[in-house]
């Protein structure tokens, strides 16, 4: 049996000065994809405002390790105390992470989670936010997100706009959504507060999923009524080629009509085994001018400026009392959004007071 020389054993226990790797050294020693490094820097610096000495947790899974590695390197460069976890991919959005990951989330100052499925709609995320962690989550992460320019925006400028939209929603009592294809949907929002997701997470407990920046609000439970023409995308699922007609009555989808994509959506929702998957818990407006449906995966499908999406299922993130084992988003193009009878969004333009 070979043993290490005394000098090597000593190095294992002797305190060594902490040395931060340069990005060049780090790339050579890791699985990180080089083109992810600059966007990772932007996210950690501009979006999360990571500071030297902060506890930064990087959550990835076995399918997204290369993206996580880039954030580890960028975090080390910033002087953060970086811890990384690699878990088995979850099977759906909102599924709870392992207990060890959940515990680490509550101990972190800042978290970035490039994963296959979202950690957002989970009790673990809620607990981490309550503990003060700032969280950037990037579900369905893919190469295109880092290559197509959707992260190359001024997040602070967009935050100012999104905050104005949030104030309109906070002061409103009802929302009507229409579209040229026939959407006509009504909901009360009188008892809910807006949930702005600008990509900026500088305050304790804030969350956002860049490049998916949006402004959302939960409908009051049991109020959403009307028809929605889903002609953008479903998340999960991807871009829609044949529009799906969703009929809402008293805060629930009662019919999904269309072709094969409507059948797939119905099968997806039924697969969760919970009728609450048909309940609307979010009305969100995409706010990223560089995002495009079908361009960078699901992160961009609901972020394109001028679109509106209805989130269904688990409403934990949006202040809804509805709980379900997953969360799905239904995206429509060319949205006209009215709040208390006043047009807020039409023809890809905001009409702010």
DSSP string, 138-200: EET--HHHHHSSTT-S-HHHHHHHHHHHHHHHHH-SEEEEE-TTS-EEEEE-TT--EEEE-S-
Give the pLDDT mean for 186-202.
97
The pLDDT of residue 120 is 86
Collapsing DSSP states into helix, strand and coil, what is residue 54? coil
Query: How does residue 30 score in pLDDT terms, banded at 50, 70 and 90?
Result: low
Distance (Å, whole) CA 245 – CA 228 = 6
Matching residue, tokens 């590695």: 69
C-alpha closest to that of 226 among 250, 209, 206, 208:
250
Residue 27 has pLDDT above 80, yes or no: no
Residue 4: pLDDT band with limits 50, 70, 90 = very low
pLDDT at 200: 96
| Helix or strand run (H / E) with residue 76 | helix 65-77
pLDDT band for position 297 (50/70/90)? confident
Structure tokens at 121: 């709609």
Q: Which residues contact 220 (CB under 8 A, 6 or more apart)?
A: 187, 188, 189, 190, 191, 192
Q: How many Å apart are CA 281 and CA 139, to the nearest integer?
A: 19
Which of 21-35, 87-101, 245-259 is predicted most confidently?
245-259
Element (H, E) at 284: strand 280-286
For residue range 51-103, what is the model confidence (pLDDT) as tens digits?
999 999 999 999 999 999 999 999 999 999 999 999 999 988 888 999 999 99
Section 279-295 average pLDDT: 96
pLDDT at 6 > cutoff 80: no
Mean pLDDT of 318-326: 95
Pairing relationship of beta strands 110-115 and 134-139 according to DSSP bridges: parallel
Mean pLDDT of the chain: 91
Residue from 88, 287, 286, 113 nearest 207 by CA: 113
Indicate the fold that domain 14-141 takes in CATH: Rossmann fold (3.40.50)
Q: Which of 16-20, 79-83, 100-104, 224-228 shows the lowest mean pLDDT across its residues?
A: 16-20
Q: Residues 243-257, buried b or exposed e (16+ Cβ, 10 A)? A: bbbbebeebbbeebe
| DSSP state at residue 26 | H
pLDDT for 303-316, tens place per residue?
999 999 999 999 98
pLDDT for the residue 94: 81
Looking at the DSSP bridge assignments, the partners of residue 329 are: 235, 311
Is the confidence at residue 21, as pLDDT, over 50?
no
- What percent of the chain has pLDDT above 70? 92
Instruction: Write the pLDDT tens digit of every residue in 112-138.
Output: 999 999 898 889 999 999 999 999 999
Say what the pLDDT of residue 212 is.
Answer: 93
**Cα 149 to Cα 56: distance, rounded to the nearest angstrom:** 25
Domain ranges in the chain?
Answer: 14-141, 155-350
Q: Are 24 and 92 in contact (CB under 8 A)?
A: no
Q: What is the pLDDT of residue 300?
A: 92
Report pLDDT for 298.
84
> How many angstroms separate the Cα of 226 from the Cα of each of 56, 158, 175, 252?
44, 31, 12, 10
CB 114 within 8 Å of CB 64: yes
């Amino acid at each position: 049996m070979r043993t290490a020389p005394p000098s090597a054993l000593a190095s294992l226990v002797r305190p060594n000065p902490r040395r931060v790797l340069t990005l060049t050294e780090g790339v050579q020693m890791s699985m990180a994809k080089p083109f992810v490094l600059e966007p990772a820097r932007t996210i950690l610096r501009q979006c999360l405002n990571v500071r030297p000495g902060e506890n930064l947790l990087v959550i990835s899974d076995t399918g997204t390790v290369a993206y996580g590695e880039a954030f580890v390197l960028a975090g080390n460069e910033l002087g953060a105390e970086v811890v990384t976890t690699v878990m088995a991919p979850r099977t759906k959005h909102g599924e709870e992470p392992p207990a060890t990951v959940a515990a680490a989330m509550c101990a972190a100052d800042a978290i970035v989670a490039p994963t296959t499925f979202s950690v957002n709609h989970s009790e673990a995320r809620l607990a981490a936010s309550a503990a003060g962690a700032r969280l950037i989550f990037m579900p369905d992460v893919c190469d295109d997100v880092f290559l197509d320019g959707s992260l190359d925006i001024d997040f602070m400028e967009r935050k100012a706009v999104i905050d104005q939209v949030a104030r309109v929603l906070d002061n409103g009592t009802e929302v009507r959504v229409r579209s040229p294809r026939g959407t006509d949907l009504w909901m009360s929002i009188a008892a809910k507060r807006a949930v702005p997701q600008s990509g900026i997470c500088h305050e304790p407990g804030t969350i956002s999923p860049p490049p998916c920046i949006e402004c959302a609000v939960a409908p009051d439970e049991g109020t959403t009524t009307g028809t929605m023409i889903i002609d953008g995308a479903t998340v999960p699922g991807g871009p829609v080629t044949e529009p799906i007609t969703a009929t809402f009555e008293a805060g629930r989808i009662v019919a999904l009509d269309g072709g094969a994509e409507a059948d797939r959506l119905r099968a997806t929702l039924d697969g969760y085994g919970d009728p609450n998957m048909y309940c609307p818990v979010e009305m969100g407006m995409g706010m990223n001018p560089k995002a495009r449906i079908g361009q960078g995966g699901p992160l961009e499908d609901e972020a394109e400026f001028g679109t509106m999406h209805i989130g269904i299922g688990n409403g934990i993130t949006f202040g809804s009392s509805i709980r379900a084992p997953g969360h799905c988003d239904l995206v429509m193009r060319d949205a006209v959004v009215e709040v208390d009878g006043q047009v807020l969004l039409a023809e890809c333009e905001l009409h702010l007071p």
